[in-house]
Amino acid sequence: MGFTPLAGTRAPVRVWTDPYAIEPQAAKQLRNIGALPWVQGVAVMPDVHFGKGATVGSVIAMRQAVSPAAVGVDIGCGMSAVRTSLTAADLPDDLAGLRSAIEATIPVGFAQRKDSVDTRRIRGLEQAGWDDFWGRFAGLDRRVAQLETRAQRQIGTLGGGNHFIEVCLEQGGADEGRVWLMLHSGSRNIGKELAERHIGVARGLPHNADLPDRDLAVFLAGTPEMDAYRRDLWWAQEYARRNRAVMLALLCGVVREHFPQVSFHESISCHHNYVSEESYDGVDVLVTRKGAIRAGRGDLGIIPGSMGTGSYIVRGRGNTDAYCSASHGAGRRMSRAQAKRTFSTEDLAVQTAGVECRKDAGVVDEIPGAYKDITEVMAQQEDLVEVVAHLKQVVCVKG
């Protein structure tokens, strides 16, 4: 499809969807971002929608600056997936037992473990670096010092909202019916606490006094505030990656108990709320992806739909116009409150037919109808990624 420029911005804002279809609030956010003096450019993904602080589905390249609200409060939120040796024929007709076993192994929602998980005892989990990782907690913002025990107990837990664990079947091609495992989660409460503290600091800095949107306050390179944020940011992004790795290993363990013959391929993991140091046209920039994945040439990524529509494993095309990025999912087309007003549990049951999942009022805000059509989103970014596998969930665990 290619991009369309968004008119009326200082820095180039390139849009991979119909600019006139972007909700007015989100369009205003994008223009505010494009007006910032530190912004090199912005790429807008086809799943774009209004978000707190900055637009979801935005990729912002800044010179010598970064906006913590443009990362969001779930630092490092992202996806992990692994292809198994199982096929649909190996699965029982009734998947309720498998779903219950997953829910019994991995805490969801606001739940945390009674004790921190012993990572040394988890089969298939990378063991390197854990002691160094936790040793760096003492160097984080002193205002989160009392949260170390909670952070340890939340490693290997899912969270709520749009976070999920799924068992999926590959659709079409030579591997029709191949079983995949997939999950979506981030840095839990500790990422949120770190983000909110740094966002508050940024808002109070003098150079942010006259911004068009106080949520876009930035830290500048070479300042103590930037150094402190980057220290905590990198740690929280690693927390999110390790959190997903623990859950994926535990999920593989559940599947192994049910299907002892199973084997697993190499896993895929990608953030979609994070910052990365990159270079384009000889300019070093800090790239903030809020609701977007890196899609450099050859990079494998995961783009999920909603809980009843399916997901995609993709390979990046390295499109530098988009700062080597792609969408992070389908993207919401209505708020959670609007979804609850619009849909009923009966609608949820119809739209998740064939999926073993919760179908109660507590997850109506995650109904497929509240999200954009994932097939349309994928069609709008054919120049950003190529599809490796199309997946359809048969089990979905929500927080």
Q: Which residues are catalytic?
A: 328
Q: Which long-range contacts (C-beta less than 8 Å, at least 24 apart) are formed by 16-23?
A: 16/43, 16/44, 16/45, 16/46, 16/322, 16/327, 16/380, 16/381, 16/384, 17/44, 17/45, 17/46, 17/48, 17/380, 22/48, 23/49, 23/50
User: Any idea what the Cα angle at residue 110 is, between residues 106 and 114, rounded to 5°?
Assistant: 60
Burial of 78 (0-12, 13-18, 19+ CB in 10 A): buried
DSSP reduced 3-state for 236: helix
Binning the chain into helix, strand and coil, the percentages to the nearest 5 are 35, 25, 35
Contacts of residue 233, defined as CB under 8 A and 6 or more positions apart, other chains included, come to: 68, 71, 75, 194, 198, 275
Contact 113, 278 (CB under 8 A): no
Q: Which two tokens stand for residue 1?
A: 């499809």
Contacts of residue 133, defined as CB under 8 A and 6 or more positions apart, other chains included, come to: 235, 238, 239, 242
Q: Which of 90, 97, 359 is nearest to 254 (CA)?
A: 97
Alpha-carbon gap, residue 248 to 254, rounded angstroms: 10
Contacts of residue 160, defined as CB under 8 A and 6 or more positions apart, other chains included, come to: 108, 109, 110, 398, 399
Alpha-carbon gap, residue 32 to 50, rounded angstroms: 13
Q: What are phi and psi of 289, to 5 degrees?
A: -110, 115
Alpha-carbon gap, residue 178 to 391, rounded angstroms: 9
Contacts of residue 395, defined as CB under 8 A and 6 or more positions apart, other chains included, come to: 95, 98, 99, 102, 166, 167, 355, 356, 357
